[in-house]
A and B are shown apart, each in its own frame.
Chain A
Amino acid sequence: MALSRQDVAKVGLLARLALSGDDLDRMTGELSKIVGFVSQLEELDTKAVAPLAHPLDTQNVFRDDVPAASLTTAEALQSAPRHDGSCFLVPAVLGESGAA
Chain B
Amino acid sequence: MQPLELSAIDLVTAIRQGDVPAVQVAEAFLDRIAKVDGVIHAFLHVDRTAALERAADIDARRKAGKPLGPLAGLPVAVKDALCTADQPTTCASKMLAGYRPPYDAEVVARLRAADAVIVGKTNMDEFAMGGSNENSAFGPVHNPWDVSRAPGGSSGGSAACVAADMAPVAIGSDTGGSIRQPAGLCGITGLKPTYGRVSRRGLVAFASSLDQIGPMTRSAADAALVMEAIAGHDPGDATSLANAVPPYASLLEQPLTGLRIGRVAEHFGPGLDPEVAHGVEEAFAAFKAAGATIHDVELPHAKYGIATYYLVAPCEASSNLARYDGAHYGHRAEPGRGHHSSGAPTGGFESPLVEMYCRSRAEGFGPEVKRRIMLGTYALSSGYYDAYYAKALRVRRLIRQDYLDAFREVDLIGGPVSPTPAFPLGEKTNDPLAMYLVDMYTVGTNLAGIGGISFPCGFTKGGLPIGFQLQGPALSEPLLLRAADRYQRLTDWHRRRPKLPA
Contact = CB atoms under 8 A, between A and B. Distances in A.
Given A52-B393, A56-B196, A95 B351 contact: yes
Nearest to A78: B102
B381 interface: yes
A85 interface: no
B328 interface: yes
A71 B374 CA distance: 32
A79 B308 contact: no
A39 B384 CA distance: 12
Contacts of B392: 38, 41
Contacts of A23: 340, 342-343, 370
Contacts, number: 202
A67 interface: no
Given A18-B346, A27-B371, A34-B433, A56 B353 contact: no
A52 B397 contact: yes
Interface in A72-100: 75-76, 78-82, 88, 90-99
B318 interface: yes
Nearest to A81: B332
B374 A91 contact: no
Contact of A15 (B239, B307, B377, B390): B377
B340 A41 contact: no
A55 B400 contact: yes
B493 interface: no
B352 A17 contact: no
B411 interface: no
Contacts of A17: 358, 361-362, 365, 370, 373-374
A9 B346 contact: yes
B211 to A, nearest CB: 11
Given A38-B388, A76-B102, A15 B374 contact: yes
Contacts of B394: 46, 49-52
B352 A97 contact: yes
Contact of A13 (B340, B358, B395): B358
**B interface bracket (residues with beta carbon within 8 Å of A):** 35 or more
B451 to A, nearest CB: 11
B271 interface: no
Interface string A26-54: 01001101110111111010100111111
Nearest to B318: A15
B375 interface: yes
Most chain A Cβ neighbours within 10 Å, of B196, B351, B390 = B351
B99 A40 contact: no
B329 A30 contact: no
A49 B397 CA distance: 7
A75 B378 CA distance: 35
B103 to A, nearest CB: 8
A80 B307 contact: no
A11 B377 contact: yes
A51 B390 CA distance: 6
B327 A31 contact: no
A2 interface: no
A46 B325 contact: no
Contacts of A93: 351, 353
B391 interface: yes
B239 A56 contact: yes
A8 B359 CA distance: 16
B393 A16 contact: no
Contacts of B351: 91-96
A75 B209 contact: no
A95 B467 CA distance: 57
Given A13-B358, A54-B449, A78 B100 contact: yes
B312 to A, nearest CB: 9
A90 to B, nearest CB: 5
Contacts of A16: 322, 325, 354, 357-358, 361
Interface in B304-354: 304, 306-308, 310-311, 318, 322, 325-332, 335, 339-340, 342-346, 348, 351-354
B195 interface: yes
A28 B356 CA distance: 24
A14 B353 contact: no
A35 to B, nearest CB: 7
B28 interface: no
B391 A46 contact: yes
Contact of A11 (B208, B381, B396): B381
B463 interface: no
Given A46-B395, A51-B393, A15 B373 contact: yes
Given A41-B391, A52-B393, A52-B396, A20 B340 contact: yes
B473 to A, nearest CB: 11
B342 A22 contact: yes
Nearest to A45: B394
Contacts of B426: none
Given A16-B322, A56-B239, A41 B304 contact: yes
B366 to A, nearest CB: 12
B432 interface: yes
Contacts of B358: 12-13, 16-18
Contact of A34 (B357, B375, B381): B375
Given A17-B373, A35-B388, A79-B100, 20 more contacts: A15-B373, A15-B374, A30-B371, A31-B378, A33-B433, A34-B432, A34-B436, A38-B307, A40-B304, A41-B307, A42-B391, A44-B304, A44-B395, A54-B209, A55-B400, A79-B102, A81-B332, A88-B327, A90-B353, A91-B352
6 contacts: A7-B378, A18-B361, A23-B343, A38-B388, A56-B241, A91-B352
